[in-house]
Amino acid sequence: MATEGFSVIRRRRFLKWGLGAGGALLGGGALGYLSLFGIAPNAGALRVLNDREHRTLRNLVTTICGPMAQRERRSIADAFDDWLADEPANVIEDLKNALTWLELGPVIYDGRWTSFSDLGHGRRETHFFSWMVSDDLMRRQVATAFRKFVSLVCYDTPASWPRIHYPGPATGLRESA
C-alpha cells in the first residue's frame, strides 16, 4: 500500500493540522514582530528612512542630547534623512542596518523583550553608553558615528543655542579688505 507511513493520519487531517500549524507560526511571528517593534507614528514625507527608523533616530537624539532636545529631535532626524538621501547605496544600507541593530540592541545584548524606542530615557542612556564602551568594535563604531552626527546637528540648530548659552556666530568682527 502506498500510504503505509501515513496510515495513522489521513491526508485531510494532515493538511488541516499542517496548515493550522503554519498559520499559527505565521500569526505568532507577526504578533512577536509587532510586540517588539510596535507601530511607529507616521513621520511624514521621508526620503530614505521608514517610520520605524525615524522613530529610533528621534529617540536616539533625546538620548544623546538630553530630554531638553525634545523640540529639536524631529528636525535632527529629518536632517539625517536628508543627508542620507545623497549618500551611496552601500552607506544608506549600512546606516539603516545600524539603526535596526540599535533598535534591537536590548533584545540581542541585554536579553530584554523590548526595543530601544520602548525603553525609558534612563535605560536608553544606559544601553547607549554600553554601546560606547563595548568590547565589540562594531557596536562602538555605530555608537560613535551616531553620537558625532547627532551632536553636530543638534548643536548646529539655532533652537538649541539658548539651552547651551551660545550667543550665536560671531559676525562683523573683521572688516573685509
What are the backbone dihedrals phi and psi of residue 7, each rounded to the nearest 5 degrees, phi first?
-70, -20
Please tell me the distance from the alpha carbon of residue 25 to that of residue 19, in angstroms, as a whole number: 10
| Residue 33, pLDDT score | 60
In a domain, 116, yes or no: yes
Using one digit for the tens of pLDDT, what is the confidence trace for 99-125? 999 999 998 898 888 889 989 999 999
Which residues span the domain enclosing 116?
40-158
In a domain, 65, yes or no: yes
Which residues, including other chains, have CB under 8 Å from residue 142's CB and lie 6 or more apart?
A: 98, 101, 102, 131
89 has a pLDDT exceeding 90: yes
Nearest in space to 149 (alpha carbons), one of 85, 67, 57: 57
Is the pLDDT higher at 23 or at 127? Answer: 127
Q: Please give the grid coordinates belonging to residue 149.
A: 552626527
In a domain, 48, yes or no: yes
In a domain, 3, yes or no: no
112 and 30 in a single domain? The answer is no
Cβ pair 40, 54 in contact under 8 A = yes
Q: What is the mean pLDDT of the chain?
A: 83
Is the pLDDT higher at 58 or at 68? Answer: 58
3 state SS of 174: coil
In a domain, 124, yes or no: yes
In a domain, 165, yes or no: no
In a domain, 99, yes or no: yes
56 and 32 in a single domain? The answer is no
| Residue 73, pLDDT score | 78
| Residue 144, pLDDT score | 95
99 and 152 in a single domain? The answer is yes
DSSP for 20-59, written as a single string: HHHHHHHHHHHHHHHHHH--PPP--S-SS--HHHHHHHHH
pTM above 0.85, yes or no: no
In a domain, 174, yes or no: no
Please tell me the distance from the alpha carbon of residue 39 to that of residue 66, in angstroms, as a whole number: 24
113 and 57 in a single domain? The answer is yes
79 and 152 in a single domain? The answer is yes
87 and 126 in a single domain? The answer is yes
93 and 79 in a single domain? The answer is yes
Q: How many domains does the chain have?
A: 2
88 and 109 in a single domain? The answer is yes
Nearest in space to 131 (alpha carbons), one of 152, 113, 116: 116
Q: Please give the grid coordinates belonging to residue 93.
A: 544600507
Q: Please give the grid coordinates belonging to residue 6.
A: 501515513
Which residues, including other chains, have CB under 8 Å from residue 115's CB and lie 6 or more apart?
A: 36, 37, 38, 103, 104, 106, 107
Using one digit for the tens of pLDDT, what is the confidence trace for 117-148? 989 999 999 999 999 999 999 999 999 999 99
99 and 59 in a single domain? The answer is yes
| Residue 174, pLDDT score | 61
20 and 52 in a single domain? The answer is no
137 and 57 in a single domain? The answer is yes
90 and 25 in a single domain? The answer is no
